[in-house]
Amino acid sequence: MTTKELKEKYLSFFQKHDHQLIIGSSLKPENDPTVLFTTAGMHPLVPYLLGEKHPSGQRLTDIQKCIRTGDIDEVGDDWHLTFFEMLGNWSLGDYFKKEAITMSFQFLTQELNIPVTKLAFTCFEGDEEHNIPKDEESAEIWQSLGVSSLRISFLGKEDNWWGPAGQTGPCGPDTEMFYWVGSEPVPEKFDPSNKNWVEIWNDVFMQYNKTADGKYQELDKKNVDTGMGLERTVAVLSGMSSVYEIEPLSTIVLQVTSLVSDLELAPEFSSSIDLTDQAGVDVEKSIRIIADHLRAATFILAENIEPSNVEQGYVLRRLIRRAIRHGKKIGIEDNFTSKVVEVVIDKMGGFYKELRTHRDFITEQIAKEEEKFNNTLEKGLKEFAKLGKDKKISGQEIFKLFTTYGFPYEMTVELALENGLEVDMEAYEKEFIKHQELSRTASAGKFKGGLADQSVETTRLHTAAHLMLAALRQVLGDHVNQKGSNITADRLRYDFSHPEKLTDDQKQQVEDLVNEQIGKKAPVTIKEMTVEEAKESGAIGVFGDKYGEKVKVYTMGDFSKEICGGPHVQNTGELGHFRIKKEESSSSGVRRIKAVLE
């Protein structure tokens, strides 16, 4: 089975069961500061999971591209990836456990023709501390469909609980589906610790909303969120031993392999670090890491994100530089990253057209980052070789390697482990937070704050962002569009397209226009319409493949009309006084405003 075939089967099956196909969202989460990237299909749907009405209805299905760095140390094994595609189906207050499990079972056994004897399942064992019961209901539904009780295991929160995606938001117990990949006969009793059982699908039952104080509140309308890993499922159904054997990954791996000139350590690597066991270098794992990381970097670059030392750009830089280091370990010559990226674009740009649209930007940025890193890498490796005289590297030394030679701390940790050295991570983190406003948590993909909690404060600031965009366009011109936002209960951070610094007079004009609209106490109205109708009505939006057939258009008096998913106040008079605290550069051609409501 190919990835194309599985996509078609999945979407067709759920469309037959009255699910509307929606367009997958950007890798940059909109209005959700709890994560740096979209890590699951549920991120774009958070407002609807919390009660907002979705324009396409209560049953949805989609394909969502995702980035996860939490398991980056596992990448290179048979099953883990940084970038992956997730197939999903959704119920927003419509069906629940029985219907979801039944459809999952039918798809696996009837559409994919998997014998029930090769399947096993896990359910949630309950959480007494938070008064959440054991999920006997899901287990009983599986058994009613013909699943033996011996093939069902109950696991705790670490395994069978999903969410929230950030610090707060919708969450609940899940039931996971496993496929037997072993060559020996399938054991009668399911043992989740047996690595021959590979998870392929997950049905999440969103019964609760986790609040900022750590409590779990029952949702008025319960939802279903499911996710099937595309690459992993295709691999196991095709009898392959790893995700790197399927297309398009196999072609990307082949391109990396063709660049390996020598299976010994490259001279520029070994000259700085004395590794006596050169034969111990895992060439296959390095090749897989390079293929995975550069594929992920390609998709991140397609979002117009540039490598940097903060937030999304930091993750991008880390992936690119980690790939380059593994290239040097296995003898790949300099200036190879763009060759791999070209293959990613050619193989995946048919379905994800943004890759071809931004081809020049992607290849230029990846080549620029490789050249920048190569210019300092050899010196940095020599500096690293001087460290660890007492078998430990201090936090200050780790930080210097980062600021002077561009070594993400994760790279220093990897090098230290390879050389039997300890690292003082606690001291490093203090140093890093002090200088970069970026914690270790952020580098893995998360940092504190959250529009996902739908609080009064964040809702007010989200509404104010609409007024600010309209004011910016009035003051600066119609070329101004949103390029990203980060909204917490304390402040609004907003990125927008504009080539130069705002003057003090321009900032004052924007403030005055927003506060004028607040003073008018204009009603905030909502109307559902087609994308074409939204365009004709003059609504602001980044049109293209982003939206489904129907969208929500929010109007504030005669001043602002914008496509959005919510939430908003009912009247602009609820906002208070708007003030711009700071205006600065975000990236080339993009400015950033930080503002508050007082």
Could you report the per-residue pLDDT of 352-374, keeping only the tens digit for each? Answer: 999 999 999 999 999 999 998 88
Q: Where in the chain is the domain with CATH 3.30.980.10?
A: 455-597
| pLDDT at 508 exceeding the cut of 90 | yes
pLDDT-based confidence at residue 594 (cuts at 50, 70, 90): very high
Where is pLDDT greater, at 141 or 402?
A: 141
| pLDDT at 2 exceeding the cut of 60 | yes
Where is pLDDT greater, at 99 or 392?
A: 99
CATH architecture of 455-597: 2-Layer Sandwich (3.30)
The rounded distance, in Å, linking the Cα atoms of 32 and 448 is: 10
Across the chain, mean pLDDT equals: 85
Whether residue 529 contacts residue 537, with contact meaning beta carbons closer than 8 Å, is answered with yes
Q: Which residue in this structure is represented by tokens 């997958």? A: 24
For residue 373, what are the contacts with CB-CB under 8 A and spacing of at least 6? 320, 321, 324, 406
Which whole number is the average pLDDT over 568-576? 88
| Spatial CA neighbour of 338 closest among 318, 317, 364, 314 | 364
pLDDT-based confidence at residue 291 (cuts at 50, 70, 90): very high
Provide the CA 99 distance to its chain's centre, in angstroms. 28
Where is average pLDDT lowest: 27-36, 268-277, 469-478, 574-583?
268-277
The rounded distance, in Å, linking the Cα atoms of 27 and 516 is: 35
| pLDDT at 438 exceeding the cut of 50 | no
Instruction: State the burial class of residue 210 (Cβ atoms within 10 Å of its Cβ: 0-12, 13-18, 19+).
Output: buried
- What is the distance between the terminal CA atoms of the chain, rounded to a whole angstrom? 57
| pLDDT at 441 exceeding the cut of 60 | no
The rounded distance, in Å, linking the Cα atoms of 502 and 369 is: 29
pLDDT-based confidence at residue 486 (cuts at 50, 70, 90): confident
CATH number of 3-237: 3.30.930.10
The rounded distance, in Å, linking the Cα atoms of 485 and 469 is: 11
pLDDT-based confidence at residue 532 (cuts at 50, 70, 90): confident
Which whole number is the average pLDDT over 411-434? 74
CB burial of 135-172 (b: ≥16 within 10 Å; e: otherwise) equals: bebbbebbeeeebeeebbbbeeeeebbbbbbbbbbbbb
Q: What is the pTM of this model?
A: 0.68
| pLDDT at 385 exceeding the cut of 60 | yes
The rounded distance, in Å, linking the Cα atoms of 563 and 556 is: 12
Q: Where in the chain is the domain with CATH 3.30.930.10?
A: 3-237
For residue 181, what are the contacts with CB-CB under 8 A and spacing of at least 6? 196, 197, 198, 236, 241
Helix (H, G, I), strand (E, B) or coil at 309: coil
For residue 180, what are the contacts with CB-CB under 8 A and spacing of at least 6? 118, 119, 120, 186, 196, 197
Binding residues for Zn(2+): 462, 466, 564, 568
| Spatial CA neighbour of 294 closest among 260, 333, 252 | 252
| pLDDT at 8 exceeding the cut of 90 | yes
Which whole number is the average pLDDT over 318-332? 90
Percent with pLDDT over 90 in the chain: 49
Where is average pLDDT lowest: 42-56, 123-137, 297-311?
42-56
Whether residue 313 contacts residue 307, with contact meaning beta carbons closer than 8 Å, is answered with yes
| pLDDT at 71 exceeding the cut of 80 | no
Q: Give pLDDT, residue 439.
A: 35
For residue 47, what are the contacts with CB-CB under 8 A and spacing of at least 6? 454, 565, 566, 567
Q: What is the DSSP letter of 22?
A: -
Which whole number is the average pLDDT over 414-435? 73
Q: Give pLDDT, residue 296.
A: 97
The rounded distance, in Å, linking the Cα atoms of 554 and 528 is: 9
The rounded distance, in Å, linking the Cα atoms of 154 and 174 is: 11
The rounded distance, in Å, linking the Cα atoms of 5 and 31 is: 33
Percent with pLDDT over 70 in the chain: 89
The rounded distance, in Å, linking the Cα atoms of 124 and 136 is: 8
| Spatial CA neighbour of 38 closest among 62, 64, 61 | 64
The rounded distance, in Å, linking the Cα atoms of 430 and 71 is: 23
| pLDDT at 449 exceeding the cut of 60 | no
| pLDDT at 241 exceeding the cut of 60 | yes
The rounded distance, in Å, linking the Cα atoms of 587 and 499 is: 10
Which whole number is the average pLDDT over 209-237? 89
Q: What is the DSSP letter of 594?
A: E
Q: Which residue in this structure is represented by tokens 């109007």? A: 555
The rounded distance, in Å, linking the Cα atoms of 362 and 297 is: 9
Single-letter amino acid, residue 493:
R
Q: Give pLDDT, residue 277.
A: 36
The rounded distance, in Å, linking the Cα atoms of 62 and 19 is: 9
| pLDDT at 420 exceeding the cut of 50 | yes
Q: Give pLDDT, residue 546.
A: 55
Binding residues: 462, 466, 564, 568
